[in-house]
Amino acid sequence: MSIREKGYHRWDGRLEERRRGWKPIARLGIRLAFKRKHFKFAFSLSFLPAFVFLAGIYLSERLQDFEGIVRKGAMPLRVVPGYFLSYLTADFVLFMTVVLLIFCAAGLVADDLKHNALQLYFARPLAKRDYVLGKAAVVMFFVLLLTLVPGLLLVVFKIVFSGSFGLLRDHPGLPLAIVVYSAAAAVFFASYSLLLSSLSRNRRTASFLIFGIYVFSDMLAEILRGIFRTPYVGLVSVKTNLKLAAAPLFGTKPVLEVPSVYAFVVLAAVVAAGAWVMNRRIRGVTIIK
Amino acid sequence: MSAGKTVDIELKDIAYSYGPIEALRGVSLSLGAGATGLLGPNGAGKSTLLRILLGFLEPDSGEGRVLGYDIRFERDDIRRRVGYMPEDDCLLPGMDAVTFTSYLGELAGMPRQEAMKRAHDVLFYVGLGEARYRFLETYSAGMKQRLKLAQALVHDPPLLFLDEPTANLDPRGRTDILELIADIAAKKDIRVLISSHILSDIESVCSQAVILNKGRVAALGRLADLRQPNFNLFEMRVKGGSGKFLKDLTGLGCRVEETEDGLLRVFMPVGLDRKKVFRLAAEDRTQIRHFLPSRTSLEDLFAQSVGVEG
């Protein structure tokens, strides 16, 4: 391969002063996630519950069409805010969210640390917050795709299938609750995964931590509940905290007899820890080497 | 703030400490067009200086401008206009060279389409045209080095900072990279600041050099001027009690280096009469069997500067 197969040409364009320096980072992160092996399969699979809940909405509105196969005295399916909460905090949805994080988030910071890429980023006119926001946006994109988009579409389909705005009339705060929960879940999962990704220089270790802590915290909570017989040990579980925090937004009873504010505090602590660790890890690499 | 026309880098009394360790002590310099070599032994402050110029570190005191922009308050403007090739192996895994280069162009502020187009151009320029769609993980050390140069060039900066650009390269790879850098500096109207330990690299590419030692500027100027030093270099072979003779030479203000094959390289102060050396040898009962003036290389200058300051 000879050097200078083509001559060097000056570029006469103008460099933009970006206000959203995080956008190219987010775009590339999303693109790279789809290039990973098995990601598309996992991504498609994670929408399965949305279709099941959609079918549920359809059935609830067309119950008379299925009278022949429905057991007599069976409770009719009621599509109320709790129904949407069930979708958003379904074990399978949360589990698939974590699986997607393994693909799209584990290497976000770990790979940059391993390959000394931070200096490439910060030799550009890029602020630390742009970097963090860009990486977080990758996670938030996928979490919102699994929560916000299906959540709002389910509301839309409920209106379409019922032919009335009865749901919104009776529960006007429902869309906002879906938006707030989805946004909070997106922020939490972004902080959770970036925190763990920045703790290691190895993508596999970060993947193991993301998956392991989610699963192990749930198991640990169950074990502790068996030992101490108090619902408060549920606060150890990532999944339970998300469910506890979501309940008041949708006006439903919490899964455990624990004030939701405690769950908010635990989730907020994870977000704060994520921000703190990211800040230290980035400064450690770019400033003093 | 508009970019300066003649002086690209101007520093005045820059100081920086890592806790109790003073990395830079009152560095003042002014660099203009062409390629400049930044030389110095380990711990001299080269990397710290580059980091200050890029705005990674804020100096404890002093002031400076790069391309007319203040190193304290206009860091983004500097980074937008400077290309930086780091010393370490650094890449973003899971992508090909075109994606990598265009992505970094975009981060520098180029529009997306332009960055993509430009990525192809610079990859061809650095000789990675045929390999531009290969995954970066499969690149050899030489290819990675060229790729780092490509990402530094993608946004067409008027000033390039190259940190050890020939590190870990085989002789052919070294020649290729140096050829590229020489072409960039001489024909593309891009000013280059090269930090390197390899003096011959600096000599082959740069028109001026800065030698740092213990955080201070030990020598600075055009290479041609620096080679007109304030010392004369002689090669000497002696027989007899050389120990006392060498000590006495040092007493005359000379600096003496002994090579592996017993050749003495004597840096004599300009005003010193060489007859004094012979007189001294006679007094010390030492025979001088070989005494020839030698051409001053950058190594000599480096050794002398670092030695004098040390």
List of chain B residues whose C-beta atoms are within 8 Å of the C-beta of residue A108: none
Partners of B66 on chain A (C-beta within 8 Å) are none
For chain B, the domains span 33-58+73-223, 231-309
Quote the pLDDT of residue B247: 86
CATH number of the domain at B231-309, please?
Answer: 3.30.70.100
Tokens of A286: 């770019």
Q: Which of residues 9-28 of A touch B (CB under 8 A)?
A: 9-11, 13, 15-18, 21, 24-25, 28
Q: The tokens 């209106």 sit on which residue?
A: A159
State both tokens at A120.
């490439």
8 A C-beta contact, residue B235 and residue B261: no
**Mind telling me how many Å the CA of A97 is from chain B's nearest CA?**
22
CATH architecture type of domain B33-58+73-223: 3-Layer(aba) Sandwich (3.40)
B90 with A120: Cβ contact below 8 A: yes
Alpha-carbon distance of A181 to B229, in angstroms, equals 73
- Residue of A237, A233, A283, A282 lying closest to A258 (CA atoms): A233
B12 conformational bin, left if phi > 0, alpha if psi -120 to 50, beta if neither: beta
For residue B89, give how far its alpha carbon lies from the nearest alpha carbon of chain A (Å). Answer: 7
Q: Is B26 exposed, middle or buried (0-12, 13-18, 19+ CB in 10 A)?
A: middle
- From the list A3, A111, A115, the residue facing B179 with the nearest CB is A3
Closest Cα in chain A to B187: A8
Contact residues, chain B, for A17 at CB < 8 Å: 76, 80, 109
- Give the CA-trace dihedral at B54, B55, B61, B66, to 10 degrees: 50
Q: Given this model, what pLDDT does residue A130 score?
A: 93
Count Cβ neighbours within 10 Å for each residue of B248-280 and write b for 16 or more, e otherwise: bbeeeebbbeeeeeeebbbbbeeebeeeebeeb
Do the Cβ atoms of B45 and B27 come closer than 8 Å? Answer: yes
Closest Cα to residue A251, out of A47, A85, A116?
A: A85
> Which of A21, A35, A286 has the CB atom closest to B94's CB atom?
A35
Residues A222 and A215 sit within 8 Å (Cβ to Cβ): no
Q: Is A226 exposed, middle or buried (0-12, 13-18, 19+ CB in 10 A)?
A: exposed
The owner of tokens 């455990």 is A256
The shortest CB-CB distance from A287 to any of B57, B176, B180 is to: B57
In chain B, what residues touch A128 (CB-CB under 8 Å)? none
Cα B136 to Cα B236: distance, rounded to the nearest angstrom: 52
Please identify which residue in the block is written with the tokens 């598309």: A40
Instruction: Mutate one of B1, B47, B102, B107 to test the A interface: name it (highest A CB count within 10 A).
Output: B107
* Contact residues on chain B for A32, CB-CB shorter than 8 A: 94-95
pLDDT of the residue at B257: 78
Sheet with B35-39, strands from edge to edge, namely B82-85, B159-163, B191-195, B35-39, B208-213, B216-222
- Is the separation of the CB atoms in B115 and A13 below 8 Å? no
Angstrom CA distances, B93 to A32, A211, B130, B134, B139, stand at 10, 22, 19, 11, 11
Q: What residues in chain A have per-residue pLDDT under 70?
A: 1-6, 72-75, 284-289
Q: Which residues contact B310 (CB under 8 A, 6 or more apart)?
A: B213, B214
ipTM of the complex as predicted: 0.86
Closest residue on chain B to A33 (Cα): B94
Contact A256/A224 with Cβ under 8 angstroms?
no
* Inter-chain touch A121–B107, beta carbons under 8 Å: yes
Tell me the angle at which helices A22-35 and B97-108 cross, rounded to the nearest 10 degrees.
160
Tokens of B138: 């499969």
Question: Would you state the structure tokens that stand for residue B202, as one six-digit string?
Answer: 């600096």
Sheet holding B21-31: strands in order across?
B21-31, B9-18, B61-66, B69-70
Q: Is A205 on the interface with B (CB under 8 A)?
A: no
Tell me the one-letter amino acid at A268. A
CB contact under 8 A, A10 and B118: no
Kindly determine whether residue B86 and residue A123, on different chains, have CB atoms separated by under 8 Å.
yes
What residues contact residue A88 under an 8 Å CB cut-off, 6+ apart? A147, A151, A178, A181, A182, A185, A246
- Per-residue pLDDT, B2: 39
Handedness of CA B261, B308, B233, B193 (dihedral sign): positive
Q: Structure tokens of B270?
A: 């300009």
Chain B interface, best mutation among A2, A5, A11, A23, by max B CB count within 10 A = A11
**Structure token digits, residue B287:** 């025979």
Its sign, for the CA torsion A17, B162, A118, A202, is positive
3-state secondary structure chain B: CCCCCCCCEEEEEEEEEECCEEEEEEEEEEECCCEEEEECCCCCCHHHHHHHHHCCCCCCEEEEEECCEECCCCHHHHHHHEEEECCCCCCCCCCEHHHHHHHHHHHHCCCHHHHHHHHHHHHHHCCCCCCCCCEHHHCCHHHHHHHHHHHHHCCCCCEEEEECCCCCCCHHHHHHHHHHHHHHHHHCCCEEEEECCCHHHHHHHCCEEEEEECCEEEEEEEHHHHCCCCEEEEEEEEEECHHHHHHHHHHCCCEEEECCCCCEEEEEECCCCHHHHHHHHHHCCEEEEEEEECCCCHHHHHHHHHHHHC
Ranges of chain B with pLDDT below 50: 1-5, 308-310
Pick A124's closest partner by Cβ from B79, B88, B89.
B79
Cα A59 versus chain centre, distance: 29
Q: Which residue in the set A4, A116, A125 is minimally distant from B90, CB to CB?
A: A116
Helix (H) or strand (E) holding A169: helix A166-170
Mean of all residue pLDDT scores within chain B: 86
The Cα A288–Cα A138 span in angstroms is: 28
The reported pLDDT for the residue numbered B259 is 77
pLDDT at B303: 66
